[in-house]
């Protein structure tokens, strides 16, 4: 059997440009600082960034930002909880739905996730394809494919007098209440037991890189320029506030006062989230029409929107249980980057229409899907 291994074909990139507005104070901390007595103990991550305001006036401003890794990680962890996915661990201390070959599956035994189960898990849950999964050796899946093909070849030989492999022989010590049929299986077909095994060739051909790209979100240009036009200058203090806290040890009653420099409510950040659309995402035997392709892609988009909605319903960053990190996603625009033969071209969907929030975007998802699908050069699988 010949298996061609090609790079997955990137068809389009779907972008969601959006703003994040803080509803309460926000802290994505740089870690506890070491400084002068009475100074700030922790502050939000920040960076110096150039903005252009009015008459091409360039200003360099220190601004807080929301790392893409923080938003992506928060989305993933909340989706794991909402979908009730199986958890794995490398050390039996930290458990998460991060499938990898040879991670522990259970708390009290040493059962580990083998390569077969690992491949089934990453193929079964779209979350793993969306956010990424651990790497593995290609030689391991090749061995599984060769073993599966060998069993198929043996099955095709039928009752020709050749000796079957020892592992396929019935155990003479076991009762024969339901003896297996002696009828020859059709060519290319596996026995019912073997059919429970996944098609590793198909899984291999459906594998893609991580589908979800999440940018860092920086303070919105309009927000910065409004401050500049109003005050004639912009500083870090325009985006942050000091919050004094005190933690009391319940055993010793010792106080631990600290000062937090967090992003103030009402600050707006801007950035984008992108979905890579590969041709082989739709190489599934159940996808036989354009409508099936649309429904499959829609599941990925709904998963993204659900993750963002869960962030809105909870928090992002530190001290969420104490009221920090409440945010809202607003002013969302959708665009599509087409991968053409000679160039890459980005086009706005619906003329750059802004959806005011996630609910409005979700209600328009079917219309957006129609516009995306008609441009996809992907052929559905032929019916059997």
Q: Say whether pLDDT at 169 is over 70.
A: no
Establish if 61 belongs to a structural domain: yes
pLDDT in tens, 239-273: 999 888 888 888 998 988 888 889 999 999 999 99
pLDDT in tens, 208-232: 889 999 999 999 999 999 999 999 8
Establish if 114 belongs to a structural domain: no
Establish if 160 belongs to a structural domain: no
Establish if 147 belongs to a structural domain: no
Q: Say whether pLDDT at 158 is over 80.
A: no
Range 348-355 average pLDDT: 85
Range 78-89 average pLDDT: 90
pLDDT score recorded for residue 148: 65
Q: State the Cα–Cα distance between residues 255 and 247, nearest whole angstrom.
A: 6
Establish if 74 belongs to a structural domain: yes
Q: Say whether pLDDT at 114 is over 60.
A: yes
What is the chain's length?
384
Cβ-in-10-Å burial (0-12, 13-18, 19+) of 332 comes to: buried
Average pLDDT of the chain is: 82
Establish if 111 belongs to a structural domain: no
> pLDDT category, 117, cuts 50, 70, 90?
confident
Q: State the residue range of the domain holding 246.
A: 13-33+40-85+211-373
At residue 97, the 3 state secondary structure works out as: coil
Establish if 182 belongs to a structural domain: no
pLDDT in tens, 352-367: 889 999 999 999 998 8
pLDDT score recorded for residue 327: 97
Q: State the Cα–Cα distance between residues 176 and 207, nearest whole angstrom.
A: 42
Range 146-152 average pLDDT: 69
Q: Say what the pTM is.
A: 0.80
Contact 36, 53 (CB under 8 A): no
DSSP codes, 153-190: HHHHH-SSSPPPPGGGS--TTS--SSPPP-SPPPTT--
pLDDT score recorded for residue 228: 93
Q: Which residue has the higher pLDDT, 328 or 195?
A: 328
Total tally of structural domains belonging to the chain:
1
pLDDT in tens, 292-331: 888 889 999 999 999 999 999 999 998 899 899 999 999 9
Establish if 105 belongs to a structural domain: no
């Amino acid at each position: 059997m010949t298996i061609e291994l090609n790079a997955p074909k990137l068809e389009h990139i779907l972008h969601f440009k959006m703003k994040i507005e803080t509803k309460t104070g926000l802290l994505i901390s740089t870690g506890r600082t070491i400084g002068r007595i009475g100074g700030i103990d922790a502050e939000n991550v920040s960076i110096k960034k150039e903005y252009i305001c009015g008459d091409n006036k360039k200003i360099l401003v220190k601004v807080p930002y929301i790392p893409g890794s923080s938003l992506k990680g928060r989305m993933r962890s909340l989706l794991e909880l909402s979908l009730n996915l199986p958890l794995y661990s490398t050390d039996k201390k930290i458990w998460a739905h991060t499938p990898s070959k040879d991670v522990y599956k259970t708390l009290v035994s040493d059962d580990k996730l083998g390569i077969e189960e690992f491949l089934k898990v990453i193929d079964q849950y779209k979350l793993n394809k969306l956010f990424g999964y651990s790497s593995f050796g290609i030689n391991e899946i090749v061995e599984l494919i060769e073993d599966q093909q060998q069993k198929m070849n043996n099955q095709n030989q039928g009752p020709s007098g050749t000796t079957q492999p020892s592992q396929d022989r019935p155990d003479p010590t076991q009762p024969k209440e339901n003896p297996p049929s002696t009828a020859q299986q059709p060519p290319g077909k596996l026995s019912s037991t073997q059919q429970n095994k996944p098609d590793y060739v198909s899984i291999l051909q459906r594998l893609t890189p991580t589908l979800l790209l999440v940018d860092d979100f920086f303070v919105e240009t309009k927000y910065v320029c409004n401050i500049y036009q109003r005050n004639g200058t912009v500083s870090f203090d325009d985006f942050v506030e000091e919050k004094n806290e005190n933690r009391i040890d319940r055993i010793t009653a010792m106080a631990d006062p600290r000062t937090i420099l967090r992003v103030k409510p009402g600050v707006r950040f801007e950035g984008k989230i992108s979905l890579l659309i590969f041709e082989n995402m739709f190489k599934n035997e159940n996808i036989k029409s354009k409508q099936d392709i649309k429904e499959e892609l829609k599941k990925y988009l709904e998963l993204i929107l659900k993750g963002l909605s869960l962030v809105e319903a909870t928090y992002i960053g530190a001290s969420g249980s104490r009221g920090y990190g409440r945010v809202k996603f607003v002013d969302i625009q959708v665009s599509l980057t087409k991968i053409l033969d000679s160039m890459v071209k980005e086009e706005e969907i619906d003329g750059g229409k802004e959806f005011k929030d996630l609910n409005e975007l979700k209600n328009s998802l079917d219309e957006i899907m129609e516009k995306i699908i008609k441009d996809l050069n992907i052929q559905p699988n032929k019916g059997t």
